[in-house]
Structure 1
Amino acid sequence: MKLTKNQWIVFGVICFIGIFANLDKSMIGFTADKLISTYGFTKTQMGNLSSVFYVSFILVTIPGGWLVDRFGYKQFVVISLALLTVFSFLFGSVTGLGAIVLLRFMVGFGQAGYTNGAPKIISEHYQSDQCAKVQSFVVATAGIGGILASTVGESMINSNWHYAYYFLSAGYLVALLAVIFLMKDNFKDKGAGNAVVKAPQQKAGFFDAWKNKNTLLLALAVLFSNLVGVAMLFWLPNVLRINFNVENQGTLSKIMVAFYIIMTIAMASSGSIITKFFKGKELKFIFVSSILTAVCLVVFITAPIYMLAIGALYVSVFTMMLAFSALLSVPYQLVPKQIIGAAFAVLNIGAFVGGIISPQLVSLFAQPTSYLYSFICLSVCMIISGACALFVKKPVEIVGGTENE
């Protein structure tokens, strides 16, 4: 990417925040296991850590996108990082169940602030043709966070789980200072070929994004796509045990780390792939990638040969992440800029609704000795996701007195 110095600084800051935010989200599973073994908490009690996080995330997201559009991202992101710094530190300092659950609820508020602020940061600092590439790298921090959580994070938690959250708090503090001192809200960059000038914009209404058909269709596509992604991450170790008799913990860890690495590569490269080879055909690209994912999921769960199954698994995660990243990049071209924050809030709600219902959907179709029907269901969800993208309409442009799409 050809970016100016200021744009590279912004890029570095939002990626740094993304890595720590996703490290936080990925570490909580390891933390829950440690709390169960250390303090005797039940799995049901630790399941509340996930539930309260999603509840607080959605509570902030509903008005969050609109607030970012109306008042700017900087105040919103600064407050969210301050909350994450304080409550992550406190989370690592307590041992009581009530305090642990309450503080995880508060961490959800902070996480939602960054998630809702990031799209606005990108749209403010980069041209439309740069947004897809930047967005793909920001989304790829989910994979980096997962890799770090599966290696460094797990090691720190097993050694002393309190220190793991002190480390997170320190990272959030560094990010907070970077946003305060390095990022400007009303940004103008005079670098050659990269000028980004804010034009006067009409104030966005609270429900404008919810009235936008493209936003709703993309949110529905994200819901079904993220449903499949969360299901894969949540159930994959058990699927490998039940369907493929993989019992060795070392083998399972290697498969999961490779899964995260491929996921990261797919997300990081998606922006370049789309802008270079599929510019103007993003929606068809999403559909084709979704269909390929659906096919590979069926091959994975039905393959008679173990290596064929693992190959299909890795191809499916690659194409799934390409489709998901593309879904998160097309709003910059299809949704009016004045509601971009609120539009991503709608997409985030769709993603988290998919994440919430995903484990229950898989368990509904799972059998004691096979996840065959569950993965067929996931394949259907990917097809629905791709089909939703096909119904999205590109904005009509007025050129020379005539309408062009």
Structure 2
Amino acid sequence: MFGVIFLIGIFANLDKSMIGFTADKLISTYGFTKAQMGNLSSVFYVSFILVTIPGGWLVDRFGYKKFVVISLAVLMVFSFLFGTVSSLFAILFLRFMVGFGQAGYTNGSPKIISDSFEADQCARIQSFVVATAGIGGILASTVGESIIHTNWHHAYWFLGFGYLAALLLAVIFLKEHKKEEPLEQTKTVEKKEKIGFFDAWKNRNTLLLAGAVLFSNLVGVAMMFWLPNVFHVNFNIENPAMLSSVMVGFYVIMTIAMASSGIILTKYFKNKELTFIFWASVLTAVCLVIFITAPLYQLAIAALYVGDFAMMLAFSGLLAVPYQLIPRNIIGSAFAVLNIGAFVGGIVSPQLVSTFARSGSYTISFIVLAVCMVISGGLALLVKKPGQVKETEKNQQLRKQMNHAKA
């Protein structure tokens, strides 16, 4: 089970990471503008949201296998088609369709983890699944970048075959699985599984975490999408091999951060996860400013890598804490809300960066991204632990009783 979702995650994140190299290639090959390439990312996240709004609730109600299998079929077909076109309209349209497929996997994986593992294991499993973003990035910066540099169409045919392999494995090995409940709890469980469409939207912690994920993912998407072009514009790096090595380092650190985040949070910051997320976000913001303003290339790279590590720890933490703070019966729906926050950030991100970018510099854009990271950390601090929520509800009940007594 874990192996299947891990492999799917690698190909899904290879897809997401390759698009930055593809956009850079399209700009130089066809003369597309930065704003037009910003739309390439935005349309992807628009379709993502359209599926995600009902997707999490449907996964909670009816299971995850159908969603994952259908999503992989969609990804396979439209990745192959993406590798056959060259007009701007066709490129944007097919990227829009790829977003539908990516959403199916993203909504299904949290439910797979929640149903297949115990609560104290979910954070670690989630961290390994999220780490596929880094592995996909490494593959994109090496294999993907090499193929894109030669012929970008071939890169998406390669990706299509990867999705085909993942689809076959999902059909064979992916099974619906729920942890067994004691017989005396069966009726209660059945009642809990009658989930309202808006139940997750009424959960305060879900909404705060969604806001934090929005701003954090906004920065992450901006980094993955624009870094190749930032190195061209701000640092005058034109050598593809040099650019590839820098990006490989970026994704290796991302992978290490994501894979280790579950262990770091559970072993060293248990019950202090939200405070840790805040300070990791602040550190990321500081590093972003140093990176884009550093007078020395070596200092800029050091700041980039430290910021990358801190950013991924914070982001992974935001995706791990819901398993502790949000009721299991709405976990799929809750992650759908978080994903919508992430995707809104993904839609806004490319346009935000291109709006503040100047012809010869991305400095202002990165300062804006630093502010977004601080906002993300601040929202995380507002999230309440279950005990705090119960205490608040108890205090509200007491106030109501006192008001009735006075009346």
TM-score for both structures, normalised by structure 1: 0.85
Contact 2:142/2:244 (<8 A) preserved: no
Looking at structure 2, the residues matched to 321 and 242 of structure 1 have their Cα atoms a distance apart, in angstroms, of 25
SS at match of 1:396: helix
Residues 1:213 and 2:204 are matched in the alignment: yes
Contact 2:52/2:336 (<8 A) preserved: yes
Judge which range, 55-64 or 390-399, deviates more: 390-399
Looking at structure 2, the residues matched to 52 and 168 of structure 1 have their Cα atoms a distance apart, in angstroms, of 19
SS at match of 1:120: helix
Residues 1:377 and 2:388 are matched in the alignment: no
Structure 2 counterpart of 1:231, from 222, 227, 231: 222
* Deviation (angstroms), 1:238: 4.3
Looking at structure 2, the residues matched to 309 and 42 of structure 1 have their Cα atoms a distance apart, in angstroms, of 28
* 2:107 partner letter: N
Looking at structure 1, the residues matched to 147 and 296 of structure 2 have their Cα atoms a distance apart, in angstroms, of 37
Q: Within 5 Å, which residues of 2 pair with 1:97-176?
A: 98-176=89-167
What is the percentage of aligned positions where both structures have the same residue? 73
* 2:372 partner letter: C
CA 1:95 to 1:199, structure 2 compared with 1: closer, same or farther past 3 Å?
A: same
* 1:307 partner letter: Q
* 2:220 partner letter: G
After superposition, give the CA deviation of every residue in 1:327-383 in whole Å (9 maximum; x if it has no partner): 011111111111111111111111121122223333444455554443332222211
SS at match of 2:386: coil
Residues 1:325 and 2:321 are matched in the alignment: no
* 2:246 partner letter: I
- Matched with 1:296 is 287
- Matched with 2:384 is 393
CA 1:355 to 1:213, structure 2 compared with 1: closer, same or farther past 3 Å?
A: same
SS at match of 2:176: coil
- Matched with 1:5 is none
* Deviation (angstroms), 1:300: 2.6
Coordinate RMSD, CA, aligned? 2.9
After superposition, give the CA deviation of every residue in 1:10-46 in whole Å (9 maximum; x if it has no partner): 11110100111111222234445556677x4744665
- Matched with 2:76 is 85
Structure 1: runs of 5 or more not aligned: 1-9, 191-197
Higher relative contact order (CA 8 A, sep 6+): 2
* Deviation (angstroms), 1:85: 2.3
Looking at structure 1, the residues matched to 283 and 176 of structure 2 have their Cα atoms a distance apart, in angstroms, of 41
* Deviation (angstroms), 1:110: 0.9
CA 1:77 to 1:369, structure 2 compared with 1: closer, same or farther past 3 Å?
A: closer
SS at match of 1:184: coil
Looking at structure 2, the residues matched to 304 and 99 of structure 1 have their Cα atoms a distance apart, in angstroms, of 41
- Matched with 2:8 is 17
TM-score for both structures, normalised by structure 2: 0.85
- Pairs aligned (count): 385
SS at match of 2:345: helix
